[in-house]
Amino acid sequence: MNTDEVGTVSSASVSGGDDDITSEVSVGSDETEWLSTQEAARRLGITPRTLYRFIDHGDLPAYRFGRVIRLRAHEVEAFIESSRIKPGELEHLYPEPVSREDS
């Protein structure tokens, strides 16, 4: 079997007379990468307490498996992208300077 760059495994061709059979199986493309709360908090650069608040407020999806809470890596990445600051969104934080007229 050969593994190509896109994560598929190809079996060698099987000769059965005139027909050659080649099959490809996708490897790991549908597999979910799970993060612990510690890993997700570290990836986001926040404390676990802030992460739990995001989860509790519904800002970030999380899953409970027994006593363990896990997050999907692609959902954490989507949360990061959705949190991106667009140009002009912070203008309210730096007011225009007031000019002084000394007369």
Query: What residue has token string 């802030």?
Result: 50
Element spanning 8, H or E: strand 8-10
Residue 103 has pLDDT above 80, yes or no: no
Structural contact between residues 1 and 10, judged by C-beta atoms closer than 8 angstroms: yes
Structural contact between residues 41 and 48, judged by C-beta atoms closer than 8 angstroms: yes
Residue 49 has pLDDT above 50, yes or no: yes
Query: What residue has token string 């730096």?
Result: 94
Phi, psi of 36, rounded to the nearest 5 degrees: -75, 170
Distance CA 103, CA 34 (A): 66
Residue 16: the pLDDT is: 47
pLDDT digits 0-9 by tens, 5-48: 444 444 444 444 454 444 444 445 578 999 999 999 999 999 99
Residue 35: the pLDDT is: 98
Distance, C-alpha 87 to centroid of its chain: 23
Range in 9-13, 50-54, 63-67, 72-76 the model is least confident about: 9-13
Residue 5: the pLDDT is: 44
